[in-house]
Amino acid sequence: MKLIELPNLSSKRLQALQKSGIHTPNDLLMLFPRRYIDKSVVKPIAFLTEGTGPVTVTGKVISKNVIGFKQKKRLEVIIQDKTGSLKAVFFKGWRYFITQFTENNWVALYGPVKRYGNYYSMAHPEVDPIESPDDVKKYDTLIPIYPGNKHFSKAYITNSIIKDWITQILSGKEIPEFLPRDVLSRHNFPERKDALNIIHQPVSLKDAQTALERFKYEEFFLFELSMASIKKQRTERAKGKMLKPGKYTSTFFNEVLPFTLTDGQKHALSDIRTDLQSGNQMNRLIQGDVGAGKTVVAIGAMLMAIDNGMQAALMAPTEILAEQHYQTIKQYIEPLGLNFRLLTGGQKTALRRDILTDIEGGNCNIVVGTHAIFQEKVKFHNLGLAVIDEQHRFGVKQRNDVLMKGDNPHLLVMSATPIPRSLAMTIYSDLDISVITGLPAGRKPIKTAVRTDKERQKVYDFLEQSIQNGDQAYVVFPLIEESEVMDLKDATMGFEKLKRRFPDFSISLLHGRMKSDEKEQIMKRFVDGETQILVSTTVIEVGVDVPNASIMIIEHAERFGLSQLHQLRGRIGRGSKQSYCILMPDVKLSKSGRYRLKKMVDTNDGFEIAESDLKLRGPGDFLGTKQSGLPEFRHGDIVEDRLLLEQSKNDAWNIIKTDPGLEKTEHKELKKVFEPYFKERSEFFGVG
């Protein structure tokens, strides 16, 4: 069946459907009702009152008249039951509605009731012709209400037209089942065809709910199937690459590293060691709150690759962070006599050519860089391990891109976004997860306070005293992309103000629009302790590590999301000193703004903050769909339907484990659906 075979489908309506992304009868079937209404409760007209919510009345058509002039014409229909009469009024589309009424026939109207003059009336009620006043048979199911849009209303595609079309399609169409039998029975899901029938014509809301679960599961399942087959392919290709830790790794941990590892760090490293020696490719996510010490773990992993004569790469989302990692690596790797290079977008051509030659020739053991590492021109001699820091800034695609840079190198990704573990396991399901719990010993919990503009003098006095005691401070201003210019003005003015207030201190301004070497220099001076106050936009949000900085003032604090505030605050509290975070909101605080600031004062625990943030914003905003490498799910919600997501993951992985090519008979229909699904999204998943 084709769309054009549907009844009442003018070319105008066909266009409206297409503009709404509906190209096939199947697309129309997947247009699910937004809600259902129960029209089976019929009220006698005499019992109506002004403002009665949507109800059904039945009556005989007494008269129908078109009144008014030109543009202002309207259709008025009077109907009557045993107890009284009611007027129905139609302004828009009256030419269509007039055909729905025949004098002396019975109709049922459904809508909210108002009183106008002598009549109770309904404006634009839903109209159903019926046989007799007691003809409630047609109301023995719930009425689906479909989501409308402006294209639909322009083409007069009403709810009942959509309903008719869908009934038509459902009655004629073969709807094959593609979920495997055992999956269906394990979860008690209705067959696809039955589920569609229930969604569009449910007898009870509970049935509709169960049917909907099936479709939520279905979309999660296809996603998890993709993740599973991506990982399976990666692992297959990389079979047999065993890396054993050797001289460099042990010298680093035993002689160079100035502190002992925390238990969390040890665990993560031991997971990595096992992966690297397993003969399979490592795909591991290290999750750890800000300041947990992930960098050292990354360095350890890279040294294991180098011990086996291979190269390693460390990728960061910003130049500042890449530069910082470069400095850290310099400190730890130089004593080992190894070579390392920094690769960023802003480097001069000659320098870059030199770096690329070094990487390709195998001279350089470790490459630290930004997205620039993904570029085609960058060729490795033998990349054995790739590390992606601050993974939440990259997607699935980047995970795969970097793997193309070598002969299936091992992959380690690190994230400080404390996504609740069960959620992480499902959305990063192509990765194994190690969590670094706990912080290095000797850290004092950061003290956080909210101060208003009135208290600014006191805040500045405190700042002055701390700096005189040898501390360093960040002053952060928000940078919201849409108003970049204005916010930059904010930061610049704040910078000038601080310089006037503290003429004796060395103060710098850092923002994203600066040239990279300028940024580098400013950052370096701060790291070296030459600058005492660093005024900055959120470019310092990720990763930056200056242990001597123990004060952070966040201006317009209410403009930041909770997780972002936590990331920012994570820049301090990295040494043994007591650190202070001072949140300075604007005077006017929204309820959610107040809640966020209070949460920050109440806890330092990243996981608790992430849970609240997730509740506050919903998964889409929280993860930022594009960044998280998550597709947009149409029916399912990765937080509310977490359980279904988890189940779909387990099922999908079991299938891919035993039947990776979906060749078995019981997976024949699944393969037919999965292949085009995966192909359509190959760009998104970064494959093919």
> Scanning residues 274 to 313, which ones bind Mg ion (CB under 5 A)?
294
Is residue 387 part of the contact set for ligand ADP (CB under 6 A)?
A: no
Q: Which does 290 bind (CB under 5 to 8 A by kind): Mg ion, ligand ADP, none?
A: ligand ADP
Minimum distance of ligand ADP from residue 586's CB (angstroms): 29
Identify which range of 4-12, 183-191, 288-296, 303-311 contacts ligand ADP by CB under 6 A.
288-296
Output the CA–CA distances (angstroms, integers) from residue 549 to 349, 442, 506, 542, 577, in the order listed: 35, 16, 14, 15, 9
Query: Which position among 291, 409, 573, 636 is part of the footprint of ligand ADP (CB under 6 A)?
Result: 291
Minimum distance of Mg ion from residue 324's CB (angstroms): 9
Query: Which position among 262, 281, 415, 648 is part of the footprint of ligand ADP (CB under 6 A)?
Result: 262
Burial string for 172-197 (b: 16+ CB within 10 Å, else e) reads eeebebbbbeebbeebebbebeebbb
C-alpha–C-alpha distance, residues 474 and 466, integer Å = 12
Is residue 395 part of the contact set for Mg ion (CB under 5 A)?
A: no
The two three-digit tokens of residue 9, written as one number: 């489908």
Minimum distance of ligand ADP from residue 439's CB (angstroms): 8
C-alpha–C-alpha distance, residues 261 and 228, integer Å = 33
Task: Give φ, ψ of 634 to 5 degrees.
Answer: -85, -40
- Residue showing the smallest CB distance to Mg ion in the complex: 543
Identify which range of 208-216, 498-506, 543-551, 632-640 contacts Mg ion by CB under 5 A.
543-551
Is residue 543 part of the contact set for Mg ion (CB under 5 A)?
A: yes
Output the CA–CA distances (angstroms, integers) from residue 651 to 29, 189, 220, 369, 428, in the order listed: 26, 14, 11, 38, 16
Minimum distance of ligand ADP from residue 516's CB (angstroms): 21
Query: Which position among 142, 162, 179, 290 is part of the footprint of ligand ADP (CB under 6 A)?
Result: 290
Instruction: Note whether 562 and 616 are within 8 A (CB).
Output: yes
Q: Quick one: which of 101, 35, 41, 34 has its CA closest to 66?
A: 101
Q: Per 3-state DSSP, what percentage of the chain is helix, strand, and coil (rounded to 5)?
A: 50, 15, 35
Minimum distance of ligand ADP from residue 442's CB (angstroms): 7
> Which helix or strand (DSSP H or E) is residue 682 part of?
helix 682-685
Q: How many residues in the shown chain lie near ligand ADP by CB under 6 A?
A: 18
Q: Which does 628 bind (CB under 5 to 8 A by kind): Mg ion, ligand ADP, none?
A: none
Q: Which does 512 bind (CB under 5 to 8 A by kind): ligand ADP, Mg ion, none?
A: none
C-alpha–C-alpha distance, residues 636 and 34, integer Å = 14
Give the residue with the Cβ less far from ligand ADP, 416 or 656.
Answer: 416
Identify which range of 137-145, 206-214, 256-264, 550-558 contacts ligand ADP by CB under 6 A.
256-264
Give the residue with the Cβ less far from Mg ion, 327 or 506.
Answer: 327
Q: How many residues in the shown chain lie near Mg ion by CB under 5 A?
A: 2
Query: Which position among 261, 425, 488, 589 is part of the footprint of ligand ADP (CB under 6 A)?
Result: 261
In 230-382, which ranges are E strands? 283-288, 311-315, 340-343, 366-369
Q: Quick one: which of 284, 391, 369, 388 has its CA closest to 624?
A: 391
Minimum distance of ligand ADP from residue 263's CB (angstroms): 10
Residue with tokens 């890396």: 243
Query: Which position among 151, 574, 577, 596 is part of the footprint of ligand ADP (CB under 6 A)?
Result: 574
CA dihedral 680, 684, 685, 686 (to 10 degrees): 110
**Which amino acid belongs to residue 2?**
K
Output the CA–CA distances (angstroms, integers) from residue 532 to 399, 506, 535, 570, in the order listed: 38, 5, 10, 18
Minimum distance of ligand ADP from residue 259's CB (angstroms): 4
Identify which range of 339-347, 367-375, 463-471, 536-544 contacts Mg ion by CB under 5 A.
536-544
Query: Which position among 295, 415, 531, 532 is part of the footprint of ligand ADP (CB under 6 A)?
Result: 295
Per-residue contact flags (x/-) with ligand ADP for residues 398 to 437, judged by CB under 6 A: ------------------x---------------------
Q: Which does 293 bind (CB under 5 to 8 A by kind): ligand ADP, Mg ion, none?
A: ligand ADP
Give the residue with the Cβ less far from Mg ion, 294 or 410.
Answer: 294
Q: Quick one: which of 462, 480, 439, 443 has its CA closest to 553?
A: 462
- DSSP per residue, 189-248: PPPHHHHHHHHHS-SSHHHHHHHHHHHHHHHHHHHHHHHHHHHHHHHHHTTT------HH
C-alpha–C-alpha distance, residues 234 and 544, integer Å = 32
Give the residue with the Cβ less far from ligand ADP, 275 or 541.
Answer: 541
Give the residue with the Cβ less far from Mg ion, 287 or 648.
Answer: 287
C-alpha–C-alpha distance, residues 393 and 638, integer Å = 19
In sequence order, which ranges of 469-605 are alpha helices (DSSP H)? 484-501, 516-527, 562-569, 591-602
Minimum distance of ligand ADP from residue 394's CB (angstroms): 16
- Residue showing the smallest CB distance to ligand ADP in the complex: 293
Give the residue with the Cβ less far from Mg ion, 243 or 546.
Answer: 546
Task: Give φ, ψ of 474 to 5 degrees.
Answer: -105, 140
C-alpha–C-alpha distance, residues 230 and 455, integer Å = 55
Give the residue with the Cβ less far from ligand ADP, 55 or 572.
Answer: 572
Is residue 609 part of the contact set for ligand ADP (CB under 6 A)?
A: no
Give the residue with the Cβ less far from ligand ADP, 198 or 268.
Answer: 268
Minimum distance of ligand ADP from residue 578's CB (angstroms): 16
Per-residue contact flags (x/-) with ligand ADP for residues 432 to 451, judged by CB under 6 A: --------x-----------
Per-residue contact flags (x/-) with ligand ADP for residues 530 to 569, judged by CB under 6 A: -------------x-x-x----------------------
Helix (H, G, I), strand (E, B) or coil at 363: coil
Minimum distance of Mg ion from residue 574's CB (angstroms): 10
Give the residue with the Cβ less far from Mg ion, 192 or 294.
Answer: 294
Angle at 379 between CA 377 and CA 385, to 5 degrees: 135
Q: How far apart are the first and last CA of the chain?
A: 32
Per-residue contact flags (x/-) with Mg ion for residues 222 to 241, judged by CB under 5 A: --------------------
C-alpha–C-alpha distance, residues 432 and 189, integer Å = 29
Residue with tokens 């079309």: 165
Q: Which does 259 bind (CB under 5 to 8 A by kind): ligand ADP, Mg ion, none?
A: ligand ADP
DSSP bridge pairs for 315: 369, 388
Minimum distance of ligand ADP from residue 535's CB (angstroms): 22
**Which amino acid belongs to residue 500?**
R
In sequence order, which ranges of 334-469 are alpha helices (DSSP H)? 349-361, 396-403, 421-427, 456-468
Residues that bind ligand ADP (CB under 6 A): 259, 261-262, 265, 288, 290-296, 416, 440, 543, 545, 547, 574
Residues that bind Mg ion (CB under 5 A): 294, 543
